[in-house]
């Protein structure tokens, strides 16, 4: 695996966000992907749960913009810095994404600040997660 494979996957990620074609998630996520939420202690496991979370976060975030990208030397990890709004609350964060050899996401961890933005996201996502988990 080279960093080029990871960069192609990150480019697809950006394409998905700009076109709102969430079907791209199906190719980007590995079946056993793990999502580490900034508001939940335990990670979410598997493609169905992670697909649900990412679909909803993208709907909740307003004025979402990526600013910088960083890659590890082994080419398997990327860190994407972003900013967004949740209602009146502004937030900044990073997506720490680990890829497998095929360029699929195997681990997705989000870190956010400040607390007010994180709390606003937690409320909105909490409502949607309750409906998802009730199914």
Tell whether the model's pLDDT for residue 121 goes beyond 60.
yes
pLDDT, residue 1, reads 55
Per-residue pLDDT tens for 9-55? 999 999 999 999 999 999 999 999 999 999 888 999 999 999 999 99
C-alpha dist (Å) from residue 99 to 17, 24, 50, 110: 18, 15, 15, 15
Distance CA 89, CA 63 (A): 11
pLDDT, residue 2, reads 79
pLDDT, residue 127, reads 86
pLDDT, residue 133, reads 72
Q: Which two tokens stand for residue 28?
A: 């980007």
Mean pLDDT on 111-115: 96
Mean pLDDT of the chain: 94
Q: How many CB atoms lie within 10 A of CB 28?
A: 21
Give the model's confidence band at 129: pLDDT under 50 very low, under 70 low, under 90 confident, else very high: confident
User: Which residue, 26, 73, 54, 52, is CA-closest to 134?
Assistant: 52
pLDDT, residue 131, reads 75
Q: How many CB atoms lie within 10 A of CB 59?
A: 12
In CATH, 3-134 is 3.10.450.50: yes
Mean pLDDT on 72-95: 96
Give the model's confidence band at 118: pLDDT under 50 very low, under 70 low, under 90 confident, else very high: very high
Distance CA 92, CA 72 (A): 21
Give the model's confidence band at 128: pLDDT under 50 very low, under 70 low, under 90 confident, else very high: confident
pLDDT, residue 135, reads 64
């Amino acid at each position: 695996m080279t960093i080029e494979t990871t960069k192609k996957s990150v480019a697809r990620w950006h394409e998905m966000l700009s076109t709102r074609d969430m079907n791209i998630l199906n190719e980007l996520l590995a079946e056993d992907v793990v999502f580490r939420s900034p508001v939940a202690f335990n990670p979410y496991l598997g493609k169905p749960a992670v697909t649900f979370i990412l679909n909803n976060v993208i709907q909740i975030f307003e004025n979402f913009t990526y600013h910088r990208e960083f890659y590890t030397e082994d080419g398997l990890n990327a860190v994407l810095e972003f900013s967004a709004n949740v209602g009146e609350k502004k937030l900044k964060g990073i997506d720490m994404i680990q890829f497998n050899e095929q360029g699929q996401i195997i681990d997705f961890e989000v870190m956010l600040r400040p607390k007010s933005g994180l709390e606003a996201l937690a409320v909105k996502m909490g409502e949607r997660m309750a409906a998802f988990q009730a199914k």
